[in-house]
Amino acid sequence: IIIITTVVFFIMELWEKSQTSGYFIKNTIEFLLEHGALYAPKLLEGEWYRIITYLFLHSGIEHLMNNMMVLYFLGNALEHCVGKVGYLSTYFFSGIVAAIGSVLYNTEYPVCVGASGAIFGVIGAMLWIVLKNRGTLQGISKRRMMFFVFLSVYSGFTSQGIDNAAHITGLVAGFLFSVSADHGHRYPASESGRLRPHKQPDRFHCLHFQCRPRAFRRRPERELSVFLSAFQTDSESGDAAWQARD
């Protein structure tokens, strides 16, 4: 997802620059609206594909980098816990629900782009997994995870141009999807502290880390733990939202 989103961003940048004299590394609202941004009137005209395409569009390089950095740590940890199918299902389901929540709540019809709604769904899913595992998962404590959720939501309400409706609905959607898909099976730790899956994992459980040589095994949960520790309140991971111009 990170690679595809980044490639799409730079293709759109080059495409826009070839057609206009606008600033590089910052898409204009008109260009994004024309190429798949979320916009309620367009949905009512039958362009439902926008509830997916808006996830791959970003307003600028800073918007892209902030979202992809958060997705790298959270997405790796979630995929490690529930597998590729579970991760992708959570991501896109949350993104779609976030789009619907944004359209229903924002009566002024802003133009919205960004992956934050889906990323908040990943956050919600990880929160459920940590809670189900008695409040800790390879260094990710319940307190730390809930503090991260609070800061993420709070930063949206204290920043300009943030689609908080998409954030909150995405967060709730990811949490509930993880609950309904039973993503929260417990992960007993081995003597070395490494995760050990149950003998009969559910259909979303990923076992790829068992097959890797010890020296090359990654520890996404540890990486996420370090990331949460270093998380700053001034980090921005919000979706960009503008008032649409007719």
* E strand segments, the chain: 110-113, 136-137, 140-141, 240-243
Strand 136-137 to 140-141 pairing: antiparallel
Residue position matching structure tokens 């495409």 = 15
Q: Which of 63, 80, 167, 183 is catalytic?
A: 167
Q: Could you report the per-residue pLDDT of 43-68, keeping only the tens digit for each?
A: 989 999 999 999 999 988 989 999 99
Average pLDDT over residues 143-169: 89
CA distance 181 to 32: 34
With pLDDT > 70 as the criterion, what percentage of the chain qualifies?
A: 68
Q: Which of 89, 102, 116, 237 is catalytic?
A: 116
pLDDT of 245 over the 90 cut: no
Q: Could you report the per-residue pLDDT of 173-187, keeping only the tens digit for each?
A: 999 999 998 876 655
Q: With a threshold of 0.85, does the pTM exceed it?
A: no
**Active site annotation includes 35:** no
pLDDT at 26: 58
* Nearest one of 156, 56, 174 to 119, comparing CA atoms: 174
The answer to whether the beta carbons of residues 116 and 122 sit under 8 Å apart is no
CA distance 231 to 225: 10
Quick one: tokens of 97? Answer: 């629900």
C-alpha 13, offset from chain centre: 22
Averaged pLDDT score across all residues of the chain: 77
**Active site annotation includes 116:** yes
The answer to whether the beta carbons of residues 126 and 199 sit under 8 Å apart is no
Q: Could you report the per-residue pLDDT of 4-33, keeping only the tens digit for each?
A: 999 999 998 888 777 665 555 556 788 889
CA distance 27 to 64: 11
